[in-house]
Structure 1
Amino acid sequence: MSIKKAILYNGLCACMAFIGAILGLVVGEYTTSVKLWLLAITAGGFLYIALVDMLPTMKESTLEGDSTVRFILQNIGFMFGVFFMLLIAMYEENFANIF
């Protein structure tokens, strides 16, 4: 793929992200039942993209060098991420008062 084509596709992707954000905000603002579904789909999409990209990379990197230490560090990092998401979900009402 040429550089011009890559820049064009990247720009189109960014424009679609803005359009999707605007549509999501409009739909979420005026309907309460759809808001929960939008949040669930968005969270699922982010998790899917992260895991599809992250897990193969983690698997390949454990094949090189000291795999035990790298495996432990990767899992500790993953568990910290899950823990912080859990904390945010449990105390989201307190964050609303701060901002």
Structure 2
Amino acid sequence: MLVRVVKLSFKPEDIETFLANFETNKDKIRNFEGCEHLELWQDEYKSNQFFTYSHWVSEDALNNYRQSELFKNVWSKTKPLFNAKPEAWSVRQKAILD
């Protein structure tokens, strides 16, 4: 499993637009072949910063999503709202600590 974390920073006046677009598309993303989990997090202290946290069965599955019409549609509406370049990490779990 591949975990993808993406940091998104928005112009404060565009947060509601982003949230509406995410709400419209979250189930489509969650149901995209290869996506096993999707969450949206908001920074506790910088309310214009968000993080998507998703699980993918493989890097190929993630890349298929990133090349899909769904991604292109979501990204085309999200990209103009940024006030900083997004950052992304693909990570794999190495240990579980109890």
TM-score over 0.5 (shorter chain): no
Q: Taking structure 2 as the reference length, what is the TM-score of the superposition?
A: 0.28
* Greater percentage in strand: 2
Larger RCO (CA within 8 A; separation ≥ 6): 2
Structure with higher Rg: it is 1
Q: Taking structure 1 as the reference length, what is the TM-score of the superposition?
A: 0.28
* Greater percentage in helix: 1
